[in-house]
Amino acid sequence: MKQMLKSPIHNNLLKSYISCKDHTVSHETFSIFIDEESELLITTPRPELAELAKYYESEDYISHSNTNKTFIDKVYQRVRSFTIKKKVKLINSFNSEEKIILDIGAGTGDFLLACKKNNWKITGIEPNENARAIANSKINKKDSNSKIFDKVEDVLNNTQSPNSKIFDVITMWHVLEHVPNLTEYVSQLKSLLKPNGTLIIAVPNFKSYDATYYEKFWAAYDVPRHLWHFSRKAITDLFRKEKMIVVEILPMKFDSYYVSLLSEKYKTGNSNFFKAFYIGFMSNYKARSTKEYSSLIYIIKNH
């Protein structure tokens, strides 16, 4: 296990915040600490890089499959279909002449396929071998020139120059919280993004009502796969270090319902649909004034 003693944003010493159980794979308990200045939460100690992969080895890790077995699976797949349309609408709203997009954490490739249908030139990154194989099989049927890579370095090596700024849009839908080398990764993102390009980061928000309500059972802590847990201030401070500015913050309103379903299951052993729906609804209702939705989308531009 690797111990994190200081924050990667402000180099501050960390303070204990909460302990959570891995309900998906190992059932081990992990501690979460806080950098109070940036309001960044950090899972520590966390598995070493070579050990992290085994914490994703579960059929319950739904983003790596197209499974449709349980009620929660069915809810996830329905919501995913709807949100993909919303995501494509969002990226289409940007003035991108060449329409070149990189999706990091592409999963099984459905978002990129939707982008392709909207005339985007697509590239993806997906570390999970099975999900990447599914994504490439889908995409190769539509475009033999497009590819899903294993990691950012592969994309950098595939460009004409290691410092090529080639993408109009880079998207990370619930991915940044998984990245071990946080500040280095942000630097790599900047090196791939055009000077007038747009970076879209979607992450859970631990300051939401559902997070406060479920506390250690909040499913979006998802330790140890989620190494970082972000607030608005943490995202702002992190990207400001690379001279990148948050220009807009949007809600992901469906996340409160899905996360509450999982959280109820972790807390009580049952999904408790009606209770979960109520907590999800209350989270969105309270966020109308606080703006602290269960998950947030950050629209980030180069300075």
In the chain, where are the structural domains located? 67-216+246-302
User: What residues contact residue 301 under an 8 Å CB cut-off, 6+ apart?
Assistant: 196, 197, 198, 199, 244, 245, 247
User: For residues 202 and 72, which has the higher predicted lDDT (pLDDT)?
Assistant: 202
- Given a cut of 90, whether residue 230 has pLDDT beyond it is yes
- Given a cut of 70, whether residue 269 has pLDDT beyond it is yes
pLDDT for position 151: 86
Lowest mean pLDDT among 32-46, 134-148, 200-214, 286-300: 134-148
Rounded to two decimals, what is the model's pTM?
0.91
Number of residues written out for the chain: 303
- Given a cut of 60, whether residue 11 has pLDDT beyond it is yes
Q: What CATH superfamily is the domain 67-216+246-302?
A: Vaccinia Virus protein VP39 (3.40.50.150)
pLDDT for position 57: 82
pLDDT for position 216: 98
How far apart CA 281 and CA 288 sit, in angstroms, is 11
How far apart CA 230 and CA 186 sit, in angstroms, is 14
Query: Please, are residues 259 and 218 in contact by the beta-carbon 8 Å criterion?
Result: yes
Angle, vertex CA 69, rays to CA 73 and CA 223, nearest 5: 45
For residue 54, count CB atoms less than 10 angstroms from its CB and return exposed for 0-12, middle for 13-18, buried for 19 or more: exposed
Lowest mean pLDDT among 34-43, 119-128, 198-207, 288-297: 119-128
pLDDT tens for each residue of 140-187:
877 777 889 988 888 877 765 445 678 999 999 999 999 999 999 999
The alpha helices in the chain, defined as continuous H runs, are 49-52, 71-92, 110-117, 129-142, 152-158, 182-192, 209-214, 232-240, 255-268, 273-290
**First CA to last CA distance, the chain:** 37
Q: Are strands 167-173 and 100-104 parallel, antiparallel or unpaired?
A: parallel
- Given a cut of 50, whether residue 227 has pLDDT beyond it is yes
How far apart CA 243 and CA 50 sit, in angstroms, is 31
Query: Please, are residues 277 and 45 in contact by the beta-carbon 8 Å criterion?
Result: no
Among 121, 164, 180, which Cα is nearest to 146's? 121
pLDDT tens for each residue of 73-130:
666 667 777 889 999 999 999 978 789 999 999 999 999 999 999 999 999 999 888 8
How far apart CA 296 and CA 254 sit, in angstroms, is 11
- Given a cut of 60, whether residue 65 has pLDDT beyond it is no
